[in-house]
Structure 1
Amino acid sequence: MFDPSNPTASKKSRFQPLSRDGLVDRVANLLAEAIMAGRIRPGAPLSESAIARDMGVSRAPVREAARLLESSGLVEYRTNRGFFVQSVSSAALDNLYEFRIVIERAAIARLVATGAEETLPLLRGQLSELYRVADAGEDMVCQVEADMHFHRLICQGSGNPRFLTVFDQIANETKLGLILIGRLYDDAHRMAETHEPIIDAIAAGDTDAAVDAIDYHIGTARTLVCQQFRLLEDKSAP
């Protein structure tokens, strides 16, 4: 098992060697997956030399990959110390959700105003996926991925590429916060159910109702996530 306090201690490689094609992106994806899966914990250092050795690459693409993850909020650079997995706090998550509300309110309003005929079937399909994940008893990682893809479809369908760009920039940080708390609702089906009013409002072509639905949906998640994370902070406090 990987020990964040001693990243070189593993007896076997955590990553398979990579070829050169699309190297930086693939290194970044593998590091993001390891962080999301909890194999590298928040606050842990990212040893460029150890990761490069495990993947069979030089340190340069590892450094570039870390900078990519820094822009998505998963990694932070500390002067003279290197890259570390981003530490998560309830205050940071609260700020993140406040920002998400601003972006997604605007995105859903534009989606309804410009027509959601192409996006609605995709959203309904993703709602079915949320229920499938719940029925199958999938872990929190799968639940969060399904949830975030639903919201990404709204930004994508808005027709404003800036909404999608910003959403993608904050998606991993949002996922990490959700995964760390381990569970949002006692019943996994509840996560799926909370998306239904959003689809109903979009289908009705009611911009105000759609904005209210997304505001309530993300606002409720904001409250639950921050409350649960504060409990984790209280438990870990000395």
Structure 2
Amino acid sequence: MRTASPPVGLPALAGTDLVRQVAGMLTEAIVGGRLGPGQKLAEAAVARELGISRAPVREAARLLESQGLLRACPRRGFFVRALSPEDVDDLYDLRLCIERHAAVEASRRLTPETRAALRRQCEALSEAAFLDDPARIVEADYQFHRLICEIAGNARALHLFDGLAAEMRVVIGLIGRLYDDPHEIARTHAPVLAAIEAGHPERIVAHVDHHIGVAWREVGRLVRALSTRTTEIS
């Protein structure tokens, strides 16, 4: 007799657009660590927990596969993707290319309204840290960086950035494991904002390089350690 998969901790769903709702909740579960790297997505258990049929769960899984969060194995189902060290290097290398340019352009285009929006996003990150809510911290962190790209005014660059969304949320979630104090994550964004407000391109690039470079180094180190541990276990 097969044992039921343990619940992930998802609320019952109602309403329309179930696929996107399920995809959003599964993303939160992955980013928050409730669905860990390499873990199988138990479609029937998720559907039962959400109070829906398996069809939207399967479609949500396909959507997350296209975003790089899940991988499909023939006749076995979907599994949470484990980022490799090479994945991390590729992701952060591309982030640097996009965000260096975006931060400089955002500074040039800064208005009182967009300045206030960036400050509010920093405040949202601090509030999430105060609540010690990992999911909110990840989302507030991601939205701060996305807002910079949006203010920069390059639609194609923003489209590229949005294409990294799922993987970025995963690595931001990993960053949370590296800090005992969640407020430290919020504080690391203040120098980037200050540089954008000051408007000196060289300083902006230097602060972006430092902010993303530190994350790149530490997340890379964590992923390499996790990869080594997985190899030893297997």
TM-score bin, normalised by smaller chain: 0.7 to 0.9
* 2: CA distance, partners of 1:51 / 1:76: 17
* 2: CA distance, partners of 1:7 / 1:129: 42
SS in 1 for 2:30: helix
Task: Report the RMSD for the aligned CA atoms in angstroms.
Answer: 2.7
Structure 2 residues not aligned, in runs of 5+: none
* 2: CA distance, partners of 1:106 / 1:224: 23
Count of matched residue pairs: 231
Pick which of 78-87 and 149-158 moved more.
78-87
Q: Which string of whole-angstrom CA distances, capped at 9 and with x for unpartnered residues, describes residues 63-120 of structure 1?
A: 2211221222211222343321111223322221111111212222322233344321
In the TM superposition, residue 7 of structure 1 has moved relative to its aligned partner by 8.4
Q: Match for residue 169 of structure 1?
A: 163
Q: Match for residue 178 of structure 2?
A: 184
* 2: CA distance, partners of 1:22 / 1:37: 23
Q: 2:46 aligns with which of 44, 48, 51?
A: 51
Task: Give runs of aligned pairs for residues 206-217 of structure 1, distance below 5 A.
Answer: 206-217=200-211
Q: 1:222 aligns with which of 216, 220, 225?
A: 216
Normalising by structure 1, report the TM-score: 0.82
Task: Report the residue type matching 2:28 in the other structure.
Answer: E
Normalising by structure 2, report the TM-score: 0.83
Task: Give runs of aligned pairs for residues 17-36 of structure 1, distance below 5 A.
Answer: 17-36=12-31
CA contact (8 A) 2:141 2:172 kept: no
CA contact (8 A) 1:119 1:154 kept: no
Task: Report the residue type matching 1:69 in the other structure.
Answer: L
In the TM superposition, residue 29 of structure 1 has moved relative to its aligned partner by 1.3
CA contact (8 A) 1:7 1:46 kept: no
Q: Match for residue 158 of structure 1?
A: 152
In the TM superposition, residue 223 of structure 1 has moved relative to its aligned partner by 0.8
* 2: CA distance, partners of 1:17 / 1:145: 22
* 2: CA distance, partners of 1:101 / 1:236: 29
Task: Report the residue type matching 1:70 in the other structure.
Answer: E
Q: 2:92 aligns with which of 97, 101, 105?
A: 97
Task: Report the residue type matching 2:81 in the other structure.
Answer: Q
Task: Report the residue type matching 1:221 in the other structure.
Answer: A
User: Does the alignment pair 1:64 with 2:85?
Assistant: no
In the TM superposition, residue 25 of structure 1 has moved relative to its aligned partner by 0.9
Task: Report the residue type matching 1:157 in the other structure.
Answer: I
SS in 2 for 1:84: strand
Task: Report the residue type matching 1:78 in the other structure.
Answer: C
Q: Match for residue 3 of structure 1?
A: none
Pick which of 173-182 and 218-227 moved more.
173-182
* 2: CA distance, partners of 1:180 / 1:202: 26
SS in 1 for 2:177: coil
Q: Percent identity?
A: 44
Task: Report the residue type matching 1:112 in the other structure.
Answer: S
CA contact (8 A) 1:178 1:184 kept: no
Task: Give runs of aligned pairs for residues 131-150 of structure 1, distance below 5 A.
Answer: 131-134=126-129, 136=130, 138-150=132-144
Structure 1 residues not aligned, in runs of 5+: 1-5
SS in 2 for 1:118: helix
Q: 2:83 aligns with which of 88, 94, 112?
A: 88
